[in-house]
Amino acid sequence: MDARAGTPAQPSDLIDVDQVVGAYYDLSPDPDDPGQQVAFGTSGHRGSSLDHAFNEAHIVAITAAIVEYRRDQGTDGPLFIGRDTHALSRPAWQTALEVLAAAEVDVMVDARDSWTPTPAVSQSILLHNQTRFAEGTPGLAASGAGLADGIVVTPSHNPPRDGGFKYNPPHGGPADSAATGWIADRANEILRTGVGQVKRVSLDTALGSDRTHRHDFLSSYVDDLANVLDLEIIRASGVRIGADPLGGASVEYWGAIADRYDLDLTVVNPRVDPRWAFMTLDWDGKIRMDCSSPYAMASLVQRMTGGADGSTGPAPFDIATGNDADSDRHGIVTADGLMNPNHFLAVAIEYLYGGNRPSWPSNAAIGKTLVSSALIDRVAGGLGRRLLEVPVGFKWFVPGLLSGEVGFGGEESAGASFLRKDGRVWSTDKDGILLALLASEITAATGRSPSEHHASQVERYGTSWYARVDAAATREQKARLGALSPSDVTSTTLAGQDITAKLTEAPGNGAKIGGLKVTTADAWFAARPSGTEDVYKIYAESFVSAEHLTEVQQAAKALVDEALA
């Protein structure tokens, strides 16, 4: 924990925007250096131009690879492209347009020449494709003909120096491993052979092309929200909402939502600054737009729970919310403070499945990633609903959301989406705006805040203690961790309790989890390698005590170290 965590950023913490953007154009990656190659994690390629990890050559190569991939898949409809507010996002967006236009791809760009949240890109793809799905097989395309796909230029909540680039195929959600693996491999081939061979046109030519079209992402998304949320009950109840975009792509969307639905909604921070000078520092002293972090959200939390001078008084809003830079994550703040993402997911699930979405399929499962809280398991059991537990990555929820077999899919990192009121798909990517508004719907419909609902769940299902820690690991050790089998764990107990399961495959779909999960009656841990750093992550939870959680974490590290030895 950095000593300055939760305090306002200082001038020395800020990036030099000109330097970061200049490095994008001036520096070239070494195609033989793994740290400078194209690598797709759980959500796209990310890196900094200053580290030779996100430069013009990368975007030329990735875009060219996407052009080839979509052509091989028969995807010949329009490509919807959006970007967030990071300094590197507009340069990368421009580079991508230059390559796409030269390849004669029909491209849909924002009509306002502005920022576009990730969920708005997903929603637009799905609306375009909804009439092109094969009859009788919801969400499954008969062929690629006429189908749209998309690109989102964003590193999500990453620090201001970073850039990110992700591909969403015609199902509207994050591309699966087969697609990203192919794209990354082909992009790295292009890096090695030379990006100068990739055809490009000038930006002016690209924007003036008859294959480049203006699309009103904002109106498409905002007007459609009434089909997934009960916005009328929010308006009628007068719930006071404070929305903090954290300088991200949702900044203009929140104002439009307030106007369109006549909500008592205040955009508490309308500023956009690629340096994010207005942020408070995250746990490690970095500027990071993580709306699930009490340190990054310190200003909004303080506004809801007490003045800067320590004074107290009524909260200015009934619900306050935050989003990350591309608005695919949510942070929920009540008068009790910032909610743990796991706690809000559990509250959202109980509300949605507890009679407030009567037109949803009666067999619609509850989706969670295997590192999300076991409180969700207990809530699902109380509701009598099937639980679908999948590996880390929102891509695993895409098939179920498309077909209606999954009503809600959520990740412990504060990302989730759910079905429209009529049971059809809304988005197949995470939607932070949607979940933030759901918090207001819950408050309006029940007269109780989400944190009050969580207190009720604790009374019924018990208190849990949950945390994630990182441990150092070499690339070789990370590779071994990803290849572990249950037999590699020889211990029969964990922190004083009998081990009930040793998992290297997700119970919901049988997919490899790229690590290990061990469970007992009252606790569990999961260990998985980081895709970008030389560490592995240990997620752990205990329904016994905070001290027991510490025991679980220590035992987990010992078990993993033994297995990796």
Catalytic machinery residues:
156
Non-local (6+) Cβ contacts of 562 within 8 A are 490, 491
C-alpha to C-alpha distance for 342 and 323, rounded to whole angstroms: 16
Residue 534: both structure tokens together: 């030389």
> DSSP 3-state assignment of 502?
strand
Angle between helices 546-564 and 475-482 (to 10 degrees): 100
C-alpha to C-alpha distance for 425 and 230, rounded to whole angstroms: 16
Residue 313: both structure tokens together: 């008084």
The DSSP letter of residue 5 is T
C-alpha to C-alpha distance for 472 and 35, rounded to whole angstroms: 17
> DSSP 3-state assignment of 525?
strand
CB 54 within 8 Å of CB 123: no
3-state secondary structure 45-76: EEEEHHHCCCCHHHHHHHHHHHHHHHHHCCCC
CA 6, 317, 123 angle in degrees (round to 5)?
85
CB 322 within 8 Å of CB 331: yes
Signed CA dihedral, 489, 490, 492, 495: sign only: negative
Residue 519: both structure tokens together: 């469970």
Residue 300: both structure tokens together: 């909004």
Contacts 24+ apart (CB under 8 A), 135-144: 138/402, 138/403, 138/404, 139/171, 139/399, 139/401, 139/402, 139/403, 139/425, 140/402, 140/403, 141/170, 141/171, 143/74, 144/70, 144/73, 144/74, 144/75, 144/76, 144/170
Q: Is 321 left (phi over 0), alpha (psi -120 to 50) or beta?
A: beta
Parallel, antiparallel, or unpaired: how do β-strands 107-110 and 79-83 relate? parallel
